[in-house]
Chain A
């Protein structure tokens, strides 16, 4: 069965970076892409970007352009999301989602808290 397992929660100081992992299993990794979506406290879902595991092509939301980097490691079937120059309003639950035609399977979420 398809499973996406994300790394554990993080506490970061403003200005720092965070890298969240998403390990996939139960399907052929390179046949799909990944979207990263976040939910800040009391807010809705916000799409951050997408990467294809086939060749690493990426597409970022304009809001995060220059501050986020998505990568994949086909040897470990893992997708990564790195967010830099963290601010307090980056405090959120971050989700990875497998994407074929649409996001279908989701990771359990990783809570990133940014606080001085």
Chain B
């Protein structure tokens, strides 16, 4: 399964919204279990990846509510309602439909204008 993220780079203004797209080569939805095997991670400079969103739209513990995930099937979006300076880094979508094998999108670098 191949994940394609756009854009590659996203300059943002603090306080403004931002969105990142992730497209999968196969559906990541599982109607039998009522879930979608798509998560989002953020890799901040000098830090380890941190889980932001799991199973399409569930915020991980401690993640601010300005982050939200949506989509279905093969098209997914991560939205930041109001970008803050601490949100800079590279965002990755990850699929785990073929668990335990996972694949990551190519990443989207978010930087402040």
Contact = CB atoms under 8 A, between A and B. Distances in A.
Contacts, number: 56
Main secondary structure on A side of the interface with B: strand
A95 interface: yes
B93 to A, nearest CB: 10
Interface residues of B, number: 22
B51 A109 contact: no
A103 interface: yes
B49 A102 contact: no
Contacts of A55: none
Interface stretch (B21-29, B64-72, B73-81, B102-110): B102-110
Contacts of B54: 101-102
Contacts of A102: 39, 51, 54, 94, 96, 102
Interface of B: 39, 41, 43, 48-51, 54, 60, 90, 92, 94, 96, 99-107
Interface of A: 33, 35, 37, 39, 44-47, 50, 52, 59, 61, 95, 97, 99, 101-104, 106-109
